[in-house]
Amino acid sequence: MIIFNQDVINNFFYIILSIFLIFFLVEKKLIQGWYTRGATLVSFSIAIILCMLSPIYNNPYCVHDLRMIPFVLGIMYGGPYTGFALLVVLLASRTMIYGWSIVALVIYVVIYLITVMGMKGFDFPTLTSRKKVIFSVVLFTIHSIVAAFIANAMTVFVIDKSYLINFIALPSVGMLILTYISETLFKQIQIKQALVKIEKMEVLSQLAASISHEVKNPLTVIKGFLRLLNQDNLPAGKKEQYLTIASSELKRAEEIIDDYLTFAKPDPDQVENISISEQLQKLADMVEPLSNQQSVLVHKNIVDGTIVGNTRSFQQAFLNIIKNAIESMPQGGDLKIESEVKKGNALINISDTGDGMTSEQQARLGEPYFSTKEKGTGLGLMVSYRIIEAMGGNITVESKIGKGTSFQIIFPIDQMKNSSSI
């Protein structure tokens, strides 16, 4: 009486290996439809052939192995068409290995039809995992009993205690375990697919919020200069300067929108030499209305140097940092914009005398939706961090509650201009 031997272990190993192969192929691609059915067909075909090459029991009247398990699993998870292809593979392999048998043909065709009708009758794809496991065990037990009656009717075949154990009980238990493994693995694929969809929606949400946030920066600058234009006795030169800056900020807002609209198919960034002193001075002029409104004194000590990157991205990154620094001082204070060239690097320091941050808050800077401001989104600094990193820079933050915050950004120098202080 054969209950458990090395060939039984081999058969289970081949089937488990085929299930994991399907999981690996489908999990990597996350493609449904023909790809999943193809992976199921190939993997279970290999399992069927390997099971037949390691028979558990073989005599002149009967060859026993666990080929039926991958065959039935293939029908259940691959569908009727995949199941029919597996039926062809099974019959062809059985004929090449053991020779032609009309009994085998009748048994496999009947099992195929019972499985397909059972799946349709119970609407197998909609069943819960637990019900699928129960369905598979009951169905496989019915298969074994039907196969025994067909074999008994068409040829010399004895149904005894050994048959009940080795041909019905053992394979049914194996079917239970293997269906459970299949359900667990395929559920992991479904969870990953759901997570991918959630991540896409999250990215879309962040993108929409980021667009809104980034466009507000130039609009805030424009709003400030429009207020200044309403002043009485404003010199003509100042008026022209304010209009020029407001116009350039409108253009910047348009460019930001264009950048996000082409986010899915971005063009390579326009790389150019960036003059640190020129851009920091321009940024200081941009935030002048906001700093005046907040009673913030801006101190500049800028040493020029040239770095490589995208000018618009550089402006966007540092405008976020400077604007945040000013907004952290609602009762007024001092803002320092400093730069120096040291050991082949350009060091830019933006420091304020604002509220400061705790060490926990510092650690979360650059995360989306984290902000120390009541109505902040955190997207501004997130964008700044990504831009600085993309330009090969490194950003560090030092802050103390009640004493202010200092951002130090280090860029590799491309070429230095003559040092000069502003």
290 and 165, same structural domain?
no
Would you say residue 220 lies in a domain?
no
193 and 337, same structural domain?
no
CA neighbours closer than 13 Å in the CB half-sphere of residue 27: 15
pLDDT of residue 422: 40
For the cut 70, the answer to whether the pLDDT of residue 49 exceeds it is yes
pLDDT of residue 89: 94
Confidence band of 210 (pLDDT split at 50, 70, 90): low
- Mean pLDDT on 205-217: 71
What is the residue whose two structure tokens read 């149904």? 159
Would you say residue 417 lies in a domain?
no
At 120-162, the pLDDT tens digits run 999 988 888 899 999 999 998 898 888 888 888 887 766 667 6
Dihedral angle of Cα 404, 408, 409, 414, to the nearest 10 degrees:
140
Would you say residue 378 lies in a domain?
yes
289 and 173, same structural domain?
no
At 60-112, the pLDDT tens digits run 667 788 899 999 999 998 899 999 999 999 999 999 988 888 988 999 999 99
The whole-angstrom separation of Cα 347 and Cα 337 is 11
Point out the least confidently predicted range of 14-23, 265-274, 285-294, 370-379: 370-379
Would you say residue 203 lies in a domain?
no
CATH number, domain at 364? 3.30.565.10
Boundary of a domain, candidates 198, 215, 247: 198
Would you say residue 365 lies in a domain?
yes
Domain that holds residue 344: 270-412
Point out the least confidently predicted range of 14-28, 180-194, 200-214, 272-286: 200-214
pLDDT of residue 407: 93
The whole-angstrom separation of Cα 132 and Cα 182 is 10
3-state SS track over the chain: CCCCCHHHHHHHHHHHHHHHHHHHHHHHHCCCCHHHHHHHHHHHHHHHHHHHHCCCEEECCEEECCCHHHHHHHHHHHCHHHHHHHHHHHHHHHHHHHCCCHHHHHHHHHHHHHHHHHHHHHCHHHCCHHHHHHHHHHHHHHHHHHHHHHHHHHCCCCCCHHHHHHHHHHHHHHHHHHHHHHHHHHHHHHHHHHHHHHHHHHHHHHHHHHHHHHHHHHHHHHHHHHHHHCCCCCCHHHHHHHHHHHHHHHHHHHHHHHHHHCCCCCCCCCCEEEEHHHHHHHHHHHCHHHHHHCCEEEEEEECCCEEEECHHHHHHHHHHHHHHHHHCCCCCEEEEEEEEEECCEEEEEEEECCCCCCHHHHHCCCCCCCCCCCCCCCHHHHHHHHHHHHCCCEEEEEEECCCEEEEEEEEECCECCCCCCC
Would you say residue 290 lies in a domain?
yes
Token code pair at residue 240: 């022209």
169 and 308, same structural domain?
no
More confident residue, 421 or 232: 232
Is residue 383 within 8 A of residue 263, CB to CB? The reply is: no
Residue in 273, 278, 274 with CA at minimum distance from that of residue 420: 278
At 396-419, the pLDDT tens digits run 999 998 889 999 999 988 544 433
Backbone phi, then psi, for 413, in 5-degree steps?
-80, 135
Would you say residue 77 lies in a domain?
yes
CATH number, domain at 16? 1.10.1760
276 and 184, same structural domain?
no
Is residue 56 within 8 A of residue 14, CB to CB? The reply is: no
pLDDT of residue 33: 63
Point out the least confidently predicted range of 209-218, 227-236, 343-352: 209-218
Boundary of a domain, candidates 198, 221, 252: 198
401 and 281, same structural domain?
yes
109 and 193, same structural domain?
yes
Would you say residue 246 lies in a domain?
no
More confident residue, 180 or 153: 180
171 and 40, same structural domain?
yes
pLDDT of residue 386: 80
Boundary of a domain, candidates 198, 232, 251: 198
Buried b (16+ CB within 10 A) or exposed e, 303-314: bbbbbebbbbbb
Is residue 316 within 8 A of residue 302, CB to CB? The reply is: no
Domain total of the chain:
2
295 and 189, same structural domain?
no
176 and 299, same structural domain?
no
275 and 163, same structural domain?
no
> Which pTM value belongs to this model?
0.51
